Amino acid sequence: MNRLSKISLTSVSLICFSIILFGCDIRAGVGNQIEEGIVVTRDNNTITVTAGKNGLNGTPVAIEWDGEVPACLDSNGELVAAQQGETADGRNLIWILADISAGDSREYVASEQTDCLSKTFDWQKAGPDRSRLLIDDMPVVEYVHPVFDSNRIDETMKPFHHVYAPDGSQLITKGAGGNYSHHRGIFYGYNNIRFNDKTVNTWGGQVRSNEHSSFEAEWTGPVFGGHEVVIDWIDRDDEIFAKDIRKIQVYQLPGNEMMIDVESMLSSKVGPVELDGDHHHAGIQFRAAQYVYDNAEYSRFVRPDDWACFPEDREMNDSDWYLNSPWNIFRFVVEGEPYTVGYFSHPQNPQGGQMSERLYGRFGEFIPGMVIDEGQPLTLRYRLLIANGHEIDRERMVREYNAYSIIP
């Protein structure tokens, strides 16, 4: 049976209505197209970054580095801060924030100077179950990791990452409570997980499902802050069936913007595990504050060119058509202030991703058909570009996606 024969009559009617009324040419599976142009190379202690046609403005870039990473790089007499990182398989990386005009190249040479630091990230304890990432005392992200309490199930069922506005003025994500309490900040789960004759819901089940296990690493410095944590995925018998090694890295960009890289490596402890659900109830997703739900008339989605004809004030949610989108933009308002979140799916993620959109504030990608096994984990990588205002557009998203796609 071909793909079209599986689509319901209602779905076909809606798509045809869009094509006729809005002049749409919606084609599934053509989203992950990367423009050439951004190149990062290294020759001994010199890094060369060549910008694409749109240039780079404080964009995080990385390349493998041998030995100790210098604190500073020299670029035509200007000292630029650098920071050490790692790939998923433990290779050493050097990270910088690149600022280069369109089509130009810039060299960064290792320096012995150490006084190029300006703002730096730092972690602080914000309560018994909260860790807050700051940059020069301004909050950017908060990791909420409660210990499960059967008397407080709703409040303690899962850990998640809260996100602050880039200017630190307020939280722009929702925690426990409100509409769809299980939607919280940056969160991850599936509502139909199957293994060993069991079915588990780590997305929205009102039971113990995900629980913080340990902090494995914390990173602080001038380029990014972040951490690596281990989260247990737990079945209804209170048995751990999977381990989620979750990493975030946060970068502050010019002009009241920041980026958050999210990576998960989910490993089975019980043999084959089917990670199933649908695009509204599975995957790594973002949920904006309750204010957005209450004021959804201000919300808009801006999509790549392949789906640009679809109205921004409507949800495009047909999973048979909205496939393999490299990114999505969500514009919304919290307490009268406009914000934008750009969501990027790394090109190394498995294909077949289905984008979910809800004008009340939740969106993200679900990739169907995933199975993990012992020794065969699933790794997913996403990036969020977060800004005050509604200025981020398609051209900017294409530029940032190209830069993200070459990160090792």
Cα 174 to Cα 179: distance, rounded to the nearest angstrom? 9
pLDDT at position 207 is 79
Cα 301 to Cα 356: distance, rounded to the nearest angstrom? 11
What is the tens place of the pLDDT at every residue in 272-327?
Answer: 999 999 999 999 999 999 999 999 999 999 999 999 999 999 999 877 788 999 99
Whether the pTM exceeds 0.85: the reply is yes
What is the tens place of the pLDDT at every residue in 148-203?
Answer: 998 998 898 999 999 999 999 999 999 999 999 999 999 999 999 999 999 999 99
Q: Based on the number of CB atoms within 10 Å of its own CB, is 318 exposed (0-12), middle (13-18) or buried (19 or more)?
A: buried
Mean pLDDT of 222-228: 97
* Structure-token match 């024969």, residue found: 5
3-state per-residue secondary structure call for 185-219? CEEEEECEEEECCEEECCCCCCCCCEEEEEEEEEE
Cα 65 to Cα 141: distance, rounded to the nearest angstrom? 28
Task: CATH 2.70.98 in the chain: give the residue spans.
Answer: 121-405
pLDDT at position 11 is 38
pLDDT at position 13 is 39
The answer to whether 380 and 343 have CB atoms below 8 angstroms apart is: no
- What does each C-alpha distance from 336 to 280, 333, 339, 388 come to in angstroms? 27, 6, 10, 12
The residue among 370 and 236 whose pLDDT is bigger is: 370
The residue among 267 and 321 whose pLDDT is bigger is: 267
pLDDT at 17 over 70: no
Tokens of 82: 């650098």
pLDDT at 231 over 70: yes
- Among 3-7, 154-158, 388-392, 402-406, which range has the highest average pLDDT? 388-392
Cα 283 to Cα 260: distance, rounded to the nearest angstrom? 17
DSSP 395: H
26-35, 80-89, 94-103: range with lowest mean pLDDT: 26-35
What is the tens place of the pLDDT at every residue in 249-261?
Answer: 999 999 999 999 9
Kindly state the percentage of the chain with pLDDT values over 70: 91
pLDDT at 30 over 50: no
CATH 2.60.120 fits 121-405, yes or no: no
pLDDT band for 12, please (50, 70, 90 cuts).
very low
20-34, 120-134, 283-297, 299-313: range with lowest mean pLDDT: 20-34
